[in-house]
Amino acid sequence: MADTDQIRTVSTKWFDIIYAEECTRSALELSEKCDSIYEELCRDYNVPANKGGKEGEPQFRIPVVVTNGTDIFNAYFTTNNFNHIVLYDTGSDDDMAVFSNQFIGTFTHELTHAVSINMRSSGARKLADIFSDNINLGSIFVMPSLIKEGAAVEYESRNGEGRLNDGFYLHTVRQAKLSGKFPGYGDVTGARSKYPAGSSAYSFGGPFVKFLREKYGPELYNKFWYNAVNGGGFTFKWSFGKTYPVSLNQAWEEFKASVSVPEIKQNPLEEENITDFFSHTVKPSVKNRRGSRYSNLTAFNDGFIYSDDSGTGVYLCRKTEAGYFRPKKLFEHSDFNSLKVSLDGRYLSVAYTALNHVNPKSRVSVYDIKKDRWIDVKEQGLREACVINSEGTYYLAAVKITGQTSSLCVFRLNEKKSSFEKVSETAFSRGDQLFSPVQAGEASAAFIYKNGLSWSVLFADSLNSDTPDFSFVRMPEDVRIRTLNPDPFSDTLSFSFVRKDSFPRAGFISFADRKNASKKSCELYFEDADVSGGVYQPVVQRFNGNASEIVYAAFFYDNGSLLVKKGLSLEKSSAPVLSYSSSEAADSEEEISDSLPYKKLYWSRGSFLILSKLSMMNFTDAGKKMNDDGVEESSVPLGVVFERNNPWDSDSVTFGVGFDVFDLYGGITLGFSGQGTTSLYEYSDTVNLLFDAKGFTQVSNKFYFSSGLRLWNNSSIVLTESNMTFVGRGEIYSLLEDAGNEDYSVDLNNYAYTVNDAGLAFSTIHKTGSGIYESSGFAIGAGIKNVGITRIDGEDPDWISGMRYNSVYPYAEIALPFLIPVSCVNNFTYNLPVRIYGALLSARKTFAYINAESVLFGYEIQRGYGMIPVYFNRILLTGGYHGQLKNENRDYEIRYLKDDLDLVDDMEYEDGVYASLFIQPGLNTGAFANSAAVLKLGLQGEYHLHGEDKGKVSLSFTMSTLF
């Protein structure tokens, strides 16, 4: 929303819709449907009556934001200070194209969160009205993502739509059972930090909630939510046990038993016609056992290209005379979403997420494989693209998303200028979606086309003209398809398809006769049997023009494989070629008659909480013993705070008061903070005003700002600035201490103090392999710290000079993915990843510091437990060396670096070698079941080589590691 200047609002019976003016049509559609959806949801959940309302009816209003600030699909519901929903007005990716009306279906999903998590009793509702919608036991302590997201996925799927009616979505839970890796309920709450990580709560939550409602009835399910939200059990398992006649363990086993899987072999390599792509045999290669997730397979004349989504690599596979492939890494890219290569293998279209904006944007660049160069496409909103070679001229056919409208944009490559120039743009009917563009003949492209819940292959001809022609072939009603790929040697396209009860399979469409006036039809071929892992993104490969085979990606519960399949068994059918014409152009300009300009800086509701955000800045031991800054911050224990934010969560304001009953001082605080949805900016600023028995004590201000920019594919630069300034006394005068101590005294002089720390860092460190710790690159940076103080009302005392300090401190870090050049088997780390960190003048009494550390062994536990709600992510054994040269640094000591280097032998050196054993646990209930909330608890043993403790062994607890 920060990207638009024109914001309007319209109110319905239950909603306040706040929308960017460019989103008027979506806001209008929402305003016409939102109330009835809300009322139906409340009836279904039989929500408790509050505020004199009726049972089973809505009990509160909800603000909904409709924004075009990003063209990356997403939406969310949050209780951040107040219940509200944010919808991104843009088309979905193909994995979320599960609704006939994507925008309204997404809204329904988020509204289900709002209804379920607010199943409050009248008393709980009153507490929320007084204090905050954040005060919610069910959301914080009880319901994990497994049930929260499961509830929304289940409800979205009630009428034949949604993810529970999509075979691609259901593949994860079915494959887990087939593979014998079906997780326990505690393993998929949302705390998992390794693939499938956060998606596992969706994959298992939806089917589990559906099972609960169907097996034990909607009444118990609604009661489950009511108990969870209103204190009927303080953990997920406890609340379940107070509701259902069976234990959670038993219900989960019953759910597992209800999951249907085909009678096929667990291991696809046991099938007669399947081999491992890398080993060329039925023996699984290490590359297919290390946890990689192969994706974005795209075919050209001499081979294909793929990516490994567990890292950032893009690989080229060319055929050899022997018929095998030799993968070659083309490049690494941290933010790409899809890849499409031209048939001649010259140009690779890369769709990626651009992060140098307040909100992420979708963009396309084209990589020239022959010349190893990049050509940026300046058009905004491009979601996917492919390069087409037509009689020696290259064209780019790209899918553009504007709100709920998809368009086909065609560009011509100007090779002299290394740029793409727009030829045409054709908008499709609102709500229609295009995916996976590929070349399909001379000056022609094909797309996956979705209209409502109908899936087709759409052909665009005459792309070299101003007005392309369109036709399409509709898939059977029960078929959903993904990812087109051309067969370079025939008029055939391959794709992956599912029926509701099937695993993903390979399908083909032969379009040789689509322009034949007497036939005007296409032949469709569908695999008639399932295989473990499914068949994703199949590419056809031919050798010497002979019988083909497909190379495809297979996905299992916690890893992926690249496999080869020969001798496919196919069902054949024929489908007519239908002409296409858009029923309308792009979104027409409409107005909402009763809408008003939105003028609020912050929303009217907020949080009123009994806690203190007030803090006091104290001189460390009255300045006689100093840390680097010379001050420490102490929190005032008691207080109240009121916080408000805008409905799109980019900015907030906090006002509070606090009081210390021990030292008898208090004050007020005022804070502002905000951030974009990318790393482009983040800021906070807080002012504290304090008083004690002597009157005014101090006024302080804390400021922080950071900005990160992406440079090239894997590089970034980050600017940070922090400042703390206070004016007044650095000590509190306490009546209680004065009355009980004859020697009690306090420095009543007023000082002006500031510490400023600014930094600039450049980094190329990025994920490069399937291992958790396999990263590569380097980072360099420098900071400048200034600590200043002066007495306002008299001469400076002697101790002040010891507090003033200025320093420039450079630092660097290196990441190596391994020391032993082997790929680790999935869930293990034993190839010795390394991190090395070094800094100069990072503290007043440190000239140089170095720390080198390696992961000696790691194991992914990734298990959760219910009775004692704990989740264990991994165990980790590290070993390292660290040391520092000690020195009494002067102001800007870096000016004397040359002299200091000559005196290094005279500096005191402290160092040691150490080993640390870490375990990473976290709570496994409610909002705490989150991979971001995992702790890193370690026991470290160190042998001191030099320094004051030379020869000694120390044992300590630690939470610090370079990894």
Per residue, what are the HEC states of 733-766?
A: CCHHHHHHCCCCCCCCCCEEEEEEEEEEEEECCE
pLDDT (tens digit, 9 = 90+) per residue, 239-275?
A: 999 999 999 999 999 999 999 999 999 999 999 999 9
Lowest mean pLDDT among 140-144, 454-458, 739-743, 945-949: 739-743
Please, which pLDDT band fits residue 622 given cuts at 50, 70 and 90? very low
Lowest mean pLDDT among 216-225, 292-301, 788-797: 788-797
Long-range contacts of the stretch 312-319 (C-beta < 8 A, 24+): 312/713, 312/714, 312/766, 312/767, 312/768, 313/768, 314/339, 314/348, 314/350, 316/369, 319/541, 319/543
Please, which pLDDT band fits residue 792 given cuts at 50, 70 and 90? very high
pLDDT > 70 in the chain, percent: 97
Query: CA 348 to CA 369: how far, in whole Å?
Result: 7
Which residues fall within 8 angstroms of residue 516, CB to CB, at 6 or more apart? Answer: none
Residue 456 has pLDDT above 70, yes or no: yes
pLDDT > 90 in the chain, percent: 87
Please, which pLDDT band fits residue 3 given cuts at 50, 70 and 90? low
Mean pLDDT taken over the chain: 94
Residue 862 has pLDDT above 70, yes or no: yes
Can you tell me the mean pLDDT for 423-451?
Answer: 96
- pTM for this prediction: 0.95
pLDDT at 78: 97
pLDDT (tens digit, 9 = 90+) per residue, 8-35?
A: 999 999 999 999 999 999 999 999 999 9
pLDDT at 546: 66
Can you tell me the mean pLDDT for 654-672?
Answer: 95
Residue 321 has pLDDT above 80, yes or no: no
Please, which pLDDT band fits residue 627 given cuts at 50, 70 and 90? low
Local structure of 28: helix, strand or coil: helix
| Pairing mode of beta strands 908-923, 937-946 | antiparallel
Of 573, 511, 510, 570, whose CA–CA distance to 535 is shortest? 570
DSSP 53-70: --TTS--S-EEEEEE-S-
pLDDT (tens digit, 9 = 90+) per residue, 701-713?
A: 999 999 999 998 8
Local structure of 497: helix, strand or coil: strand
Neighbours of 939 (CB within 10 A): 13
pLDDT at 2: 55
pLDDT at 53: 78
Please, which pLDDT band fits residue 366 given cuts at 50, 70 and 90? very high
pLDDT at 581: 81
- Higher-pLDDT residue of 586 and 511 is 511
Q: Looking at the domain covering 1-135, what would its CATH class be?
A: alpha beta
Can you tell me the mean pLDDT for 714-743?
Answer: 90
pLDDT (tens digit, 9 = 90+) per residue, 686-697?
A: 999 999 999 999
Residue 315 has pLDDT above 80, yes or no: yes
pLDDT (tens digit, 9 = 90+) per residue, 185-195?
A: 999 999 999 99
Can you tell me the mean pLDDT for 161-167?
Answer: 96
pLDDT at 539: 96
Provide the token pair at 619: 């001189």
Going from N- to C-terminal start, the domains of the chain cover: 1-135, 141-261, 271-579
Return the CATH number of 271-579, one of 3.20.20.60, 2.120.10.30, 3.40.50.450, 3.30.70.1340. Answer: 2.120.10.30
Of 83, 87, 92, whose CA–CA distance to 69 is shortest? 87
pLDDT (tens digit, 9 = 90+) per residue, 401-416?
A: 999 999 999 999 999 9
pLDDT at 591: 82
pLDDT (tens digit, 9 = 90+) per residue, 57-101?
A: 999 999 999 999 999 999 999 999 999 999 999 999 999 999 999
Of 105, 109, 103, whose CA–CA distance to 23 is shortest? 103
Of 670, 574, 561, 564, whose CA–CA distance to 614 is shortest? 670
